[in-house]
């Protein structure tokens, strides 16, 4: 029998009584084993706890008197029994999770009935440090001892659970990798048996295409780097497909591939004249560009911007340019585009990344010098995803687009050989910096005569073909075409006219299909039957003898129109009333005109005190239609003066021009549309600013036959010409 007691300093070879703990264990030597390394191991069996008393001998061994500590185990305590039950449960779970403890140990623990022995047995076999075990040994209260053991077992259980979870996950990952490895090896073996690896064959095919490719040095180096990377990585990895798509894009892009231009300028002009009636300025500009290209051999293509109302043929003109040059044609609609990545592309690091629409369109064209239509450039959006109009600056700048950088391609691509043609309905919404990059070509609306010619040459043959009718199945005379244009359409272009003619052709097709007899020469009655009642009644000028009524000329998005402006006076306190849904600019024109008249009332023969005793009301009919612009300035001036003087305006006279407080008349735009509208309405005399004379000279003489033009520079000239009296 021995008294076994731990020392406080484990490094000490010969501890003194002061270096020992105060509680030890009486133990019996069960067996002594000689180990292979020469050491001796003793197996002991603990019997009782003790505390050492007086030490008797300290020579060869420590001898001391001891005090046996009796164990007071509570038998009927419910809390202690519950703790013992929990200890057994913890022990069971720990044994199940510990691979080094045999499962029979669980049965042995369940069969131990002595609760004190159970606690001592478990604490002695737990994976605890010496200090912790000594702490448990020293506790006399078995309830407290059970609590300490439970706490230690709980920590042990949590560690084992975490360890088991980690091992299970690692085991699962290894098993998955091993499975994939074996499957890939089997697949490789099967592919070799069948005749080669498809991934390797695909990369070899791409390499073969690359060897034949005519492309820049930077593009070739980038391709070589990517294909080496593709050969190294596993085809099952997601990155492999990303690299493969990138390599295919690089090979599909026409880096230095161009189509040969046709420089037979007479033939080009013939194609443009055949496809489009009118638009002489635009066609001449295109011929000039091609002439320079022919003489120089190459040039930085300017960016043309065709601006005009809807339906005048801006987009189809671009197609005609491509046909005439025998270049590839690309059309990209920018209407509603608000993501900058649509222009520049996404970076390859993003899931689902794609190149921008510029590069995609070039790839589709298979040529580096196509005609590229940027449709509706004035309708670009802008939001938190970026500003595409700013991204287009690089595309449309001839000094920059030779090194256009697409985020997906991550290489510079030369766009300088592309002939960009932008189209827009209005310049007001285009970013100024972008507008500066483009050469603006204004396309005004078509006159009545031009629309008749377009219908005869293009629209009627097209609609006859689309409705399965023969050439003589429907005959529309010029008078009938004029009737349709004036009564059923109101537009600058011919898109609505095309739809209206389609309605006439459908009516004819119905009669032909049902074998009904009909007259191929379409009459006004047939038109009313096919298209219903007249939609528009163009306002004709009627002679007005009342003072205060003047006729102005207005430009609208559907062409020109005449505008009646009415002014009347009534007793009041000098108030100015404006009605007719007028915009801010028109209201300012009315105020400016009235201020000018007040300032020059003496020279106009108007009593200055009159303005304080009357209210002036200016009204522009058709109040439901918004009206704005500076063009009505001279008309406002004439109407107000006419009302104040009580003198009617000269009949069959229309006018347009902007006014200033210092008495100047300024030029305005849309002259062609305004003059044609005046002619349609029966006006015989038009008054314009002197600077607008050059715009009138550009209108074909046939379209303005029978109209007299009066040009003015000052506001008093307007009053003299309109009202027929001299201004002093």
Q: pLDDT tens digits, residue range 132-150?
A: 888 888 888 888 888 888 8
Does 422 share its domain with 305?
Answer: yes
Residues whose CB falls within 8 Å of the CB of residue 581, separated by 6 or more in sequence, listed in order? 620, 623, 624, 625, 626, 627
* pLDDT score at 189: 76
With respect to residue 416, please indicate whether it lies within any of the assigned structural domains.
Answer: yes
Q: Domain containing 11: what range? A: 2-69
Which residue is catalytic, options 530, 631, 642, 681? Answer: 631
Q: Is the pLDDT confidence value at 119 over 70?
A: yes
- Residue 362 in contact with residue 254, Cβ under 8 Å? yes
Does 667 share its domain with 584?
Answer: yes
With respect to residue 260, please indicate whether it lies within any of the assigned structural domains.
Answer: no
Rounded to whole angstroms, the Cα distance separating 166 from 169 reads 5
With respect to residue 305, please indicate whether it lies within any of the assigned structural domains.
Answer: yes
* pLDDT score at 299: 59
Rg (CA), the chain: 50
- Residue 378 in contact with residue 310, Cβ under 8 Å? no
Kindly indicate the confidence band of residue 545, based on its pLDDT and cuts at 50, 70 and 90. Answer: confident
Q: Is the pLDDT confidence value at 243 over 70?
A: yes
Phi first, then psi, for residue 686 (nearest 5°) are -130, 135
Query: Tokens 């519950």 identify what position?
Result: 82
Confirm whether pTM is higher than 0.75.
no
Residues whose CB falls within 8 Å of the CB of residue 646, separated by 6 or more in sequence, listed in order? 547
Domain CATH number, residue 706: 3.30.230.10
Average pLDDT over residues 113-121: 80
- Residue 419 in contact with residue 286, Cβ under 8 Å? no
* pLDDT score at 271: 82
Does 453 share its domain with 436?
Answer: no
Q: Percentage of residues in the chain with pLDDT exceeding 70?
A: 96
Q: What does the pLDDT look like over 248-289, one tens digit per residue?
A: 888 888 988 888 877 778 888 888 888 888 778 778 887 887
* pLDDT score at 558: 63
Q: Which of 350-364, 513-527, 535-549 has the lowest mean pLDDT?
A: 535-549
Which residue is catalytic, options 145, 314, 451, 674? Answer: 674
Phi first, then psi, for residue 25 (nearest 5°) are -135, 135
* pLDDT score at 128: 81
Domain CATH number, residue 34: 2.30.130.40
With respect to residue 468, please indicate whether it lies within any of the assigned structural domains.
Answer: yes
With respect to residue 691, please indicate whether it lies within any of the assigned structural domains.
Answer: yes
Does 413 share its domain with 435?
Answer: yes
* pLDDT score at 623: 67
Q: What does the pLDDT look like over 495-540, one tens digit per residue?
A: 889 999 999 999 999 988 998 888 889 888 888 888 888 887 765 6
Rounded to whole angstroms, the Cα distance separating 617 from 612 reads 14
Domain CATH number, residue 156: 1.20.58.1480
Q: Is residue 217 flagged as an active site residue?
A: no
Does 344 share its domain with 433?
Answer: yes
Average pLDDT over residues 658-668: 93
Q: What is the pLDDT of the chain when averaged over all its residues?
A: 84
With respect to residue 35, please indicate whether it lies within any of the assigned structural domains.
Answer: yes
* pLDDT score at 660: 93
153, 175, 194 — which closes off a domain? 194
- Residue 430 in contact with residue 377, Cβ under 8 Å? yes
By C-alpha distance, which of 467, 510, 459, 520 is closest to 484?
459
* pLDDT score at 549: 92
CB atoms under 10 Å from CB of 584, counted, come to 8
Which element (helix H / strand E) includes 122? helix 115-125
With respect to residue 728, please indicate whether it lies within any of the assigned structural domains.
Answer: no
Does 636 share its domain with 708?
Answer: yes
Q: Is residue 274 flagged as an active site residue?
A: no
Of residues 431 and 169, more confidence is placed in 431
Of residues 425 and 538, more confidence is placed in 425
Q: Which pair of structure tokens corresponds to residue 52?
A: 């050492």
Domain CATH number, residue 335: 3.40.50.300
Average pLDDT over residues 308-314: 82
DSSP 350: S
* pLDDT score at 9: 82
Kindly indicate the confidence band of residue 699, based on its pLDDT and cuts at 50, 70 and 90. Answer: confident
252, 277, 292 — which closes off a domain? 252
Edge-to-edge strand list for the sheet holding 653-655? 576-579, 614-619, 559-571, 549-556, 653-655, 685-689, 708-712
* pLDDT score at 150: 86
395, 418, 442 — which closes off a domain? 442
Strands 576-579 and 614-619: parallel
* pLDDT score at 538: 60
Kindly indicate the confidence band of residue 197, based on its pLDDT and cuts at 50, 70 and 90. Answer: low
Burial class (CB in 10 A: 0-12, 13-18, 19+), 692: buried
Kindly indicate the confidence band of residue 726, based on its pLDDT and cuts at 50, 70 and 90. Answer: low
Kindly indicate the confidence band of residue 301, based on its pLDDT and cuts at 50, 70 and 90. Answer: low
Average pLDDT over residues 47-51: 87
Domain CATH number, residue 491: 1.10.8.60
Kindly indicate the confidence band of residue 302, based on its pLDDT and cuts at 50, 70 and 90. Answer: low
Rounded to whole angstroms, the Cα distance separating 117 from 97 reads 24
Q: What does the pLDDT look like over 573-610, one tens digit per residue?
A: 889 999 988 889 999 999 999 999 999 988 888 888 88
Does 271 share its domain with 128?
Answer: no
Does 554 share its domain with 526?
Answer: no
Q: What does the pLDDT look like over 96-116, one tens digit per residue?
A: 888 777 777 778 888 888 777
Q: Is the pLDDT confidence value at 226 over 70?
A: yes
The total of structural domains in the chain comes to 6
With respect to residue 77, please indicate whether it lies within any of the assigned structural domains.
Answer: no
* 96-110, 331-345, 438-452 — most confident range: 331-345
Does 28 share its domain with 161?
Answer: no
* pLDDT score at 639: 94
Of residues 568 and 442, more confidence is placed in 568
* 32-36, 289-293, 679-683 — most confident range: 32-36
Does 374 share its domain with 274?
Answer: yes
CB atoms under 10 Å from CB of 327, counted, come to 23
Does 602 share its domain with 496?
Answer: no
Does 453 share its domain with 396?
Answer: no
User: Is residue 318 helix, strand or coil?
Assistant: helix
Q: What does the pLDDT look like over 609-651, one tens digit per residue?
A: 888 889 999 999 886 678 888 889 999 999 999 999 989 999 8
Cα 523-525-530 angle, rounded to 5 deg? 95
Kindly indicate the confidence band of residue 130, based on its pLDDT and cuts at 50, 70 and 90. Answer: confident
Q: What does the pLDDT look like over 74-96, one tens digit per residue?
A: 877 788 888 888 888 888 888 88
């Amino acid at each position: 029998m021995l008294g076994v007691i731990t020392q406080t300093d484990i490094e000490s070879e010969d501890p003194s009584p002061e270096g020992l703990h105060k509680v030890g264990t009486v133990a019996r030597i069960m067996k002594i084993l000689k180990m292979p390394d020469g050491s001796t191991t003793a197996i002991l069996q603990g019997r009782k706890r003790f505390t050492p008393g007086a030490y008797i001998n300290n020579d060869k061994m420590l001898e001391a008197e001891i005090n046996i500590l009796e164990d007071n185990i509570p038998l009927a305590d419910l809390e202690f029994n519950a703790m013992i039950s929990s200890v057994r449960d913890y022990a069971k779970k720990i044994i199940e999770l510990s691979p080094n403890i045999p499962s029979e140990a669980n049965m042995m623990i369940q069969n131990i009935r002595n609760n004190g022995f159970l606690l001592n047995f478990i604490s002695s076999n737990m994976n605890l440090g010496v200090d912790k075990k000594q702490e448990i040994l020293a506790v006399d209260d078995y309830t407290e001892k059970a609590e300490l053991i439970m706490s230690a077992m709980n920590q042990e259980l949590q560690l084992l659970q975490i360890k088991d979870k980690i091992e299970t996950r690692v085991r699962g990952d290894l098993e998955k990798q091993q499975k994939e490895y074996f499957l890939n090896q089997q697949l490789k073996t099967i592919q070799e048996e069948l005749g080669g690896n498809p991934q390797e064959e695909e990369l070899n095919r791409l390499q073969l295409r690359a060897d034949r490719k005519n492309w820049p040095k930077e593009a070739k180096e980038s391709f070589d780097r990517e294909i080496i990377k593709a050969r190294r990585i596993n085809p099952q990895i997601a990155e492999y497909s990303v690299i493969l798509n990138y390599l295919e894009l690089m090979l599909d892009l026409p880096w230095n591939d161009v189509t040969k231009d046709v420089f037979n300028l007479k033939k080009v002009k013939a194609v443009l004249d055949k496809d489009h009636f009118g638009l002489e300025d635009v066609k001449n500009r295109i011929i000039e560009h091609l002439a320079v290209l022919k003489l120089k051999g190459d040039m930085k293509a300017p960016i043309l911007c065709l601006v005009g109302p809807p339906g005048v043929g801006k987009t189809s003109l671009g197609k005609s340019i491509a046909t005439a040059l025998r270049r590839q044609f690309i059309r990209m609609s920018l209407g509603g585009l608000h993501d900058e990545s649509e222009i520049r592309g996404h970076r390859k690091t993003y899931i689902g990344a794609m190149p921008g629409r510029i590069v995609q369109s070039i790839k589709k064209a298979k040529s580096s010098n196509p005609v590229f239509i940027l449709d509706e450039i004035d309708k670009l959006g802008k939001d938190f995803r970026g500003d595409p109009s700013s991204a287009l600056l690089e595309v449309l700048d001839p000094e920059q687009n030779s090194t256009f950088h697409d985020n997906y391609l991550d290489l510079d691509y030369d766009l300088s050989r592309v002939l960009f043609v932008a189209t827009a309905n209005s310049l007001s919404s285009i970013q100024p910096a972008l507008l500066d990059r483009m050469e603006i070509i204004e396309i005004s609306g078509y006159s009545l005569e031009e629309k008749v010619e377009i219908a005869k040459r293009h629209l009627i043959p097209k609609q006859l073909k689309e409705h399965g009718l023969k050439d003589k199945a429907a005959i529309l005379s010029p008078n009938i075409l004029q009737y349709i244009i004036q009564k059923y359409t109101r537009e600058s272009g011919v898109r609505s006219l095309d739809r209206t003619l389609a309605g006439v052709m459908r009516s004819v097709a119905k009669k032909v299909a049902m074998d009904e007899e009909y007259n191929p020469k379409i009459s006004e009655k047939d038109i009313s039957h096919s298209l219903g009642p007249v939609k528009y009644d163009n306002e004709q000028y009627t002679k007005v003898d009342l003072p205060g009524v003047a006729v102005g000329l207005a430009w609208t998005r559907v062409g020109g129109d005449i505008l009646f402006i009415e002014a009347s006076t009534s007793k009041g306190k000098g108030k100015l009333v404006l009605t007719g849904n007028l915009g801010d600019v028109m209201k300012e024109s009315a105020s400016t005109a009235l201020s000018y008249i007040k300032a020059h009332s003496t020279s106009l023969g108007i009593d200055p005190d009159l303005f304080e005793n009357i209210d002036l009301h200016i009204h522009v009919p058709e109040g439901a239609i918004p009206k704005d612009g500076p063009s009505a300035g001279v008309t406002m001036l004439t109407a107000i003066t006419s009302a104040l003087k009580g003198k009617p305006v000269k009949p069959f006279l229309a006018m347009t021009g902007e006014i200033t407080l210092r008495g100047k008349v300024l030029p305005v735009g849309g002259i062609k549309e305004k003059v044609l509208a005046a002619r349609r309405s029966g006006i015989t005399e038009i008054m314009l600013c002197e600077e607008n004379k050059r715009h009138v000279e550009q209108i074909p003489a046939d379209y303005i036959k029978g109209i007299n033009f009066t040009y003015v520079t000052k506001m008093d000239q307007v009053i003299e010409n309109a009202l027929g009296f001299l201004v002093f």
